[in-house]
Structure 1
């Protein structure tokens, strides 16, 4: 039997451990947690210096070999991995190549060098500069445009700007909250060798970008020893008339030529960045009216939201990719060997300004629903007595009360099953602000 490999997962929780243990070759791996999951999942406060110190101490104290260090979270986990992997001699991409994806201004600059026709107009600005709006106009951006932090976390602190009033409202929120992301991100930047132009745009800066839109999707891929591979495209479908996501669906329903072009753009930009031996995903829009493809952003990890979708459709979670790459192996991902033709992760939302949750589905009610809809997984995101505005990582327009993963033989069946399920998902509220 092959010697067991020790794989350390930053923020390992039970949900991920169960999936990891079903991967191909997982019998030869031992999975260990580094940093408690609640330190990266259930908070918006990240002391990265302390987390790096804690992780280093844990890994140094381990008596066996440290064969791989991985994570599935965006910030702060993704940005810590290159630092930890370099310290312990395990495989991942370099910190600089990772930051060329995650530092939004640097990423746009690098994208502009090779795919200028597929990115929006953009500029960086300092939200603490009282003349920021003037500078944005001088850079050639006019209403409407979108603003977001230079390093965003989920959909937080992203705003569509249609008027000066919108801008000043966004600035107020950004000045109040941007430090939660900016301060830890600046800790990471201190570890990197940055060009002067990029070093001048630190984590407290924001991006203003031309509004782009259309059919949104995500190309999941990886780079293995310089070879870029895109192995799946997942559609991101929104609720009508709002920016909030309704569900992620796999496989994509985009026309084949559009999918092919997105793979080609992905090859070009990831090779140019020098990203290597790690997983990534790239979010794109296809503007059907103008027949234009836009690159929205690059993430330096698989999407955890997509793990169950790949398992249902292809036969194994795409966590396979992360583990194989970290162990120096070409990823062993099957294709269309799962139990379902189509799968989705639904976001069950309310569009309140705020409210207090007075009742959530019980564990028994959730289990009964999962039994009635085989293959379904329901993850309730709130507790009775919780005020919705205290939920971390929400977008600016709604609250996601539950995530629901489902598979089906067709898209029509999938949507019909979801409607039947949520009709039986009991949530109640007090003190509703509509």
Structure 2
């Protein structure tokens, strides 16, 4: 007798993720349904969030079949929409309030301060539209400011002086409500204490700068039991704020990884978060033997999915699929083709016109030659300022996923590929410039 296939709805599923979800073992018994398009969900700048949510509800209500699970793979707003919709439609996942506590960077810091103060930097919530609120920031320079809700480092700035702060606030002013307005629309749809709602009105966070070796801990909670399936190291361009690559597996000592596990479990239990995946970013200050928590994300990191496949043998998409179906996730360990893998970024640190860009055919040839996956984000003649959702310091031109048997092999491959891509901005060739230290 033929097994009845289960229906899983995926918020904002795009073609790339549809392909990857269907590569996961057991996916032949599943049907993945797109719940709204990626572009529509992320058009919250022009489409009211109430309207986006209602479109999702109507699609689910109109489905003629069983809704067996729901998952989301992207950051805001999907990570907040998903738990609300799951609760309304009786689908198992984390409680919406626990997700809001984790995802709102100010609320998250408040919770962290209560249970892991030793890992929590000094911080202040403020509203860039309120001069009095800004005056109350009591931090020594340099410090960092960022929206309480955002993604991809958008509207984040390092502040080294009064002049920097004034310049950043000026840049933020006309964009400060871009994330805040849709966030508050979603927040109104969950039960939250008056004190917490008042706290969430601080839409930006100023934080003491933390430093050390940056990494991301990936894991999940199933029926109250924690499991951690990987630690990924983050590298920045030398003397820059922008990321150059994410590399798996981590080189951080096991004793430090164990500390991360303990801190992660402590804060997530405090928030009441369970039956869902997470990734938590840490800094390990080796010199001072300090561990700092940067932020909590209530999902798997798409940046790491391919890395797990290359090293361990299966895309980490398997984790949210299993959790959506109420199953304990199981992943293989070190069953992949490579000893290490990385997501690497080729960036421009100058604005201007792209004066040379490879063709699709050239990119496909490079992918085949190096067993790479390449996402090229620019075209010849494009102005880099037109790219959306960039950090405040650079422009992503190309993203590559590469596997290797050693770090030297990995970075040598990337240097060769960057040279073959032969991208130019304002007539200047863009090179890899990857830092080679741990």
TM-score (norm. length: structure 2): 0.94
Task: Work out the CA distance in 2 between the residues paired with 1:136 and 1:42.
Answer: 32
Determine helix, strand or coil for the equivalent of 1:420: helix
Q: 2: distance between equivalents of 1:300 and 1:172? A: 31
Aligned positions of 1:3-402 closer than 5 A? 3-40=4-41, 45=46, 47-137=48-138, 141-202=139-200, 205-352=203-350, 354-374=351-371, 376-402=372-398
**Cα distance change, pair 165–292 in 1 and its aligned pair in 2 (3 A):** same
Structure 1, gaps ≥5 residues long: none
Partner of 1:420: 416
Partner-residue secondary structure (3-state), 1:313: helix
Deviations 1:314-366 (A, max 9, x none): 111111001100110001211111111100000000100x2122332111100
Instruction: Select 2:403's aligned residue among 407, 416, 419.
Output: 407
Contact 1:214-1:286 within 8 A present in 2 as well: yes
Query: Given that residues 136 and 208 in structure 1 are in contact (C-alpha distance below 8 angstroms), is that contact kept between their aligned partners in structure 2?
Result: yes
**1:45/1:181 Cα in 2 relative to 1: closer, same or farther (>3 Å)?**
farther
**Maintained 8 Å contact 2:75/2:151:** yes
Task: Say if 1:153 and 1:181, in contact at 8 Å, map to a contact too.
Answer: no
- The CA distance in 2 between the partners of 1:315 and 1:262, in whole Å, is 24
Gaps of 5+ in 2: 431-438
Quickly say closer, same or farther: Cα 1:377–1:98, change in 2 above 3 A: same
State the TM-score, normalizing by the size of structure 1: 0.95
SS at match of 1:283: strand
Distance 1:130 1:41 in 2: 30
Cα distance in 2 for partners of 1:42, 1:253 equals 39
1:428 and 1:45 map into 2 onto residues whose CA distance is 33
CA deviation vs aligned residue, 1:13-35 (integer Å, no higher than 9, x gap): 11111111111211110011111
Counterparts of 2:420 and 2:140, CA distance in 1: 46
1:406 Cα deviation after fit: 0.2
How far did 1:430 drift?
A: 3.8
Q: Structure 2 vs 1, CA of residues 131 and 43 (structure 1 numbering), >3 Å: closer, same or farther?
A: closer
User: Could you tell me how far apart the structure 1 residues matched to 2:14 and 2:30 are?
Assistant: 16
Q: Aligned-pair RMSD on alpha carbons?
A: 1.7
Residues 74-95 of structure 1, C-alpha deviation per residue, up to 9 Å, x if partnerless?
1011010011111211111011
User: 2: distance between equivalents of 1:55 and 1:135?
Assistant: 40
State the match for 2:435 in structure 1. none
Deviation at 1:385, TM superposition (A): 2.7
Deviation for aligned residue 1:291:
1.5
Q: Tell me if structure 2 keeps the 8 A contact 1:185–1:203.
A: no
Q: Aligned with 1:177: secondary structure?
A: coil
The Cα shift of 1:158 comes to 0.8
Cα pair 2:126 2:202 within 8 Å, conserved: no
